[in-house]
Structure formats: structure tokens, C-alpha cells
Chain A
Amino acid sequence: MQQVINVFLIGISIGSIYALMSLALVLVWRSTRVVNFAQAGQAIVTTYVAWEVVNRSGSFLMAFIVAVAIGGLIGGLVESGMMRTLFKHASDGPVASVAPVIATLGLLGVIRALVGLIWTNEGKRFESPVSTAGFVIGDTTLPFSRLNLLIICTAAFVMIVFSIVFQRTNLGLALRAAAYNPEIARLSGVKVAMTRTIGWVFAGAAGAVAGILLSPNDSLTPYSLDVLFVFGFVAAVVGGLESLVGAVVGGLVLGVGLSFITFYLGTSLVFPTAFIVLVVVLLVRPSGLFGVKGARSA
């Protein structure tokens, strides 16, 4: 029983990271109808910056703040610099529907290459800010560590901030209106173009948090967040790709599920399971758990 609780808690910890990545993807999807394949690339930049800041100043908190700020900045720049040009040029023609995917993939490649040029492809050791040894209760050591607790708390904090912004502020109202119906939102005075950029800024910040939470106690390379992207995507699809709540729930469910599979069946089954979950959700309930029906097919 104790073991089950432990595996569950670790699942929540890793799942909240997936949830953040999934949140980033959903934010971008809601604002511009694009799945941002460069999201992991943007996060890798901020994670390397965070690593650099931690190395120079030793302060994890400062690294966190810098990473989030830069993540938001990159998100905004990508939207206003690249995606706007793309929508202007490639709005029709045979490849219009795949052009955003290709463009963001290209961006991912550019970012990885630049990161590799600056910091080399060798794995960097990202030290954990807190102890990674498990908590000790009585005379048993649990696999659940301070780091896991910190991850859960940080992710929860970020999600609470997001939900306050979305539910309680005028900006959040504008963002939701623009996602729900851009035409009517524009008529009621919402600057839709600006909400798009803001959506990308929030997404960049959320992705940055996911990257910085995943990397401690692990090796950091230009490719180390690919897996996070895929799990974030699966989580977003499970949650419906439209819904912010769905993204979080999808991430947590996926994290807990994969945690149990890792523990009881072995790591090699994690990827196949995630893929099967993705395909089954897409086939059985294409709108996801929280999605709107009919959004999925062309």
C-alpha cells in the first residue's frame, strides 16, 4: 500500500511537469491553431540559460525567474517574428495546412543547432537545488524526495497563477474570448492580434518552467526535452487540446499512469504505452476528455 502511494506521488510529480508542457501547447493552440513543435526547443534555451545562471550565481530562484522571463520573451518573438509572416505568405495552396508544422520544426532545428554551438552537445550536469534523497519515515526511505515535493509545489503555484490570470482578470477574459470566437472578440474591442502574442508569451513561460523542473539531477543536452514534448503532446490530446483544465488533468493522468508502468513493468514499456494511449484516445474519443466535439478532423 505504501509503495502504491509512493509511485502515485512520483507520478504526480512527473505528471505536473508534463502538465506544464501540455499547458504550453494548449495555450499556443488556442491562440493561433498551431501545435508548436518548437516548444521543447524554446524550453531547452531557457533551461540552458538557467543552468548558466545557477553556475554563475548559485541561486536557483534567480535562475527560475530569468528562465521564465526569457521563455516568455522567446515565445513572443517567435509569434510576432515568424508566425505572422507565415500566416501572411502561406495562407492558401496545397501545403497551407502543414506549413506551420514545418516552420516550427525548422525553428526547433535552428534552436537546437544554436544551443549546440554555444554550449556544445555534451551533456551538462544540472545540480538539484534541494536534496534528491528520499524522505525517511521511521526506518524506511521513500523514493519520494524533496525535489519531487518542490516540483509539485512549483507546478501548482504556476497553475494557480495561470488560473487567476485566466479567470479573474480582464486580460484572461480577452484571451478566452479571442480563443472562443476571434471575430466576435474583435468586434467587442479585443485586440485579437495582441492576445495571440500574449498566448505565445504565456506558453513560452510555461514551457520554461517545465524545462527547468525536469532537468535537475539529470543530464542536459540539446535533445533532452524531446521526450517531454511528446508526453506533453499526448497529455494535451488526452485533455482535448482546447481546454486548459484538460491539459493539466491529462498531464497528471499520464504522469501517474506512466509512473505505475515504469515501476511495475519496466521503463522500456513507457514509450509504447504513451503511443497506444495517444492512438486509443484519438480513435475512441477524438475530442479528448475535455474537448469540444468536431474539432479534430478537417
Chain B
Amino acid sequence: MLKRKHEESSKREHNPYRRRILFFLLLGWALLLLGDRVSELRVYQGALIAIYALAIGSLILLTGYSGQLSLGQGAFMAIGAYAAALTQIYLQPPIIITFISAVVVAALFGAIIGGGAARLSGPYLAGTTLALALGLPTLANLFSFLGGETGLYFDVGIAPERFGSEFTLYKWFFWIAALATLIMLFFIQNILKSRYGRAWKAGRSNPAAAQLVGLHVGRRKVLAFTISAGVAGLAGALLGMVSLVAPSTFTLSLSFAIITGAVLAGLTSLTGSILGGLVLVIIPEIAEMVSGNFGESEAVRANIPGLITSLLLILTVLFTPNGPAEQWHHHKEKKKQKAVEKQKN
């Protein structure tokens, strides 16, 4: 009985890779069909969800797995966006190259900053990355080629002819964003399930033990920071594509929003990142409805989304610190265990 169970589980372990590919392909196909059936605004929001999900994914890798909390994901997003926009303006390469340059440049910055940050723990790292998120956008005013407050325009062009004339610009954005996000999330998912992911978890849970089995915890942390920065850079380039590459896009609130999304999604589950992106886009919608009931006051409209997200953030961290998804999973496991015990008796 036990042996068969073991075989079953090892069979399941054998092809998680293929199952993951299948899952992502199905998801992509469903999104494709959905993109044709909803209004322009929803398509735009779909692109935003994808972008947020990607940024949240980068934070989940960094915080949930490697245990480093960064409040500066917005800064890396800004670096990626500026890198993509500058590449596009000065070199005009194929569109995919601009996105790759965003990843590479952001990862490079991540490696430099991560080299210092890997030595820091908890609040020190959080404070340092906060200073980065607040300080970096001011650099845009220092160098004239960065465009100052007005920023740069990152032009990815219109959709190729063969998609037909009814293919709108926003749908094109949605396609690029969703595709990039799906590919990247797939990539992150695989890294997290690999020995790197396990090493990060080990370094996070018990650094001394991880070092004892021969893991170089510091170097792994720098690696996590680099990858996370690269992914965030791509998310930033995508955000720059749908809005503007300017300091006003990459504010501290963006960094905070991404943390909120990651915490609500559960910091330790990557699948939650899409849910987190969804929440970040839906909450302003809800807030709009709520503030409609209070009359059209500007103060209410500007502050209700912040109030809702921040309250959710506090409640989540106070009562389900590992995220609602994890909590539910835990609950299910316990139930299963109980059922097994009952059967035994």
C-alpha cells in the first residue's frame, strides 16, 4: 500500500515541468479568447493585471523565497523602463530587444545593489531599498537625456498588419504584457522548484544550517536579488509601454502597491501573483463605487483605495501572516490528515 503510494507520488513528481507548460499554455489561450470579447477598458486593465502580476512575482521570489524584503521594486521597474525607452529611442531595434535590454540593465543594477543588500537583514534592507525607491526617480531631473518630469515616450509601435485592422493598440499592449508575464512567471516557477529555489528557502529558514550543508547563502541572496530586479525591470518596461516612462509612474506608492499585492496573494505562492494583480486593479474600481455613494468628493476618491489596500495589508499580516492562500492550504492539509487518522482508527 505504502509502496504504491510512493510510486504514484514519484510519477507525479516526474513530469511537473510538462504539466506547468500545459497550464501556462491553457491560461494563455483562455486570455487570448477573453481579450476578443471584452471592452477596450477591460483590455487595458488586463494588461495592467499582467504587469502587476509580474512585478508581484518578482517580489515573491525575493521575499517569499529568499527572505529579503525590498521596498524598492518600483526603482528597479523604473530602471527597466528607462533602459527600454532609451534603447528604443537611440537604437530602434526589434521590439523584443528593447525588453531584453530592460531585463539586463535592471538585473545589472540589481546585482550591484544586491551585493550590498545581501549583507542586510529585515528592516535594514527595507530601509535601504525605501531610500532607493524615493531617491532614484529624482535622478531623472539630473540628466537631461532622461527627460525630467515629463519623462520619455516608450513607443512599441502598432500591431503587425496580419492581425487585421480591428486590432487596437490596447489589445496589442495586452498581448505583449500577457505574453511576457506568462513566459516570465513560467520561468520563475521553474527556478523556484529547482535547486536554486530550495537553496533560497533553506537560506531563509535557517541560514546556519544552509551554510553547514555547503550553500553560500550570501551569494544565493545576491542571485535572488539580481533575478528579481531583472523581472521587475521587465514589468517596469511594460508599465512604461502602457503609460509613460516618467518619475510620476514609478512612485513610492507603486512599490507599496506591489508589496500589498504580494502580501495579499501570499508571499510564498507564485500562483497567487495573478490574483494579487487582479486585486490591485479591482480595488480602485470598488473604491470608485464606494466614493460614488459618498458624493463626488475629490478627497474621498483619492484616499479610499489607499485606505482599503492598507487595511487589507494590516489585517492579512496580523491574522494570516503567510497569506490567505497558504492559510487555506494549511487548513486543507490538516483536514486531510484528520481524515487519514480517522480511517486508520
Contact = CB atoms under 8 A, between A and B. Distances in A.
B121 A296 contact: yes
A164 to B, nearest CB: 29
Interface stretch (A61-69, A211-219, A242-250, A277-285): A277-285
A189 interface: no
B119 A116 contact: no
Interface of B: 63-64, 67, 69, 71, 113, 116, 119-124, 126-128, 130-132, 134-135, 138-139, 141-142, 201, 204-205, 207, 252, 256, 259-260, 263, 267-268, 298-300, 302-304, 306-307, 309-311, 313-314, 317-319, 321-322
A296 B267 CA distance: 24
Nearest to A98: B69
B182 to A, nearest CB: 26
A71 B256 CA distance: 24
B321 A89 contact: yes
A120 B318 contact: no
A234 interface: yes
Q: Is the interface of A mostly helix, strand, loop or mixed?
A: helix
Contact of A283 (B116, B260, B322): B116
A58 interface: no
A99 B262 CA distance: 13
Nearest to B305: A113
A99 B317 CA distance: 6
A86 B319 CA distance: 8
Interface stretch (A101-109, A137-145, A155-163, A202-210): A101-109
Contacts of A274: 131, 135
A89 B256 contact: no
Contact of A103 (B71, B134, B298, B314): B314
Interface residues of A, number: 53
A34 B122 CA distance: 9
A185 to B, nearest CB: 22
Contacts of A227: 134
B132 A275 contact: yes
Contacts of B131: 230, 233-234, 271, 274-275, 278
B317 A271 contact: no
A86 B127 contact: no
B134 A226 contact: yes
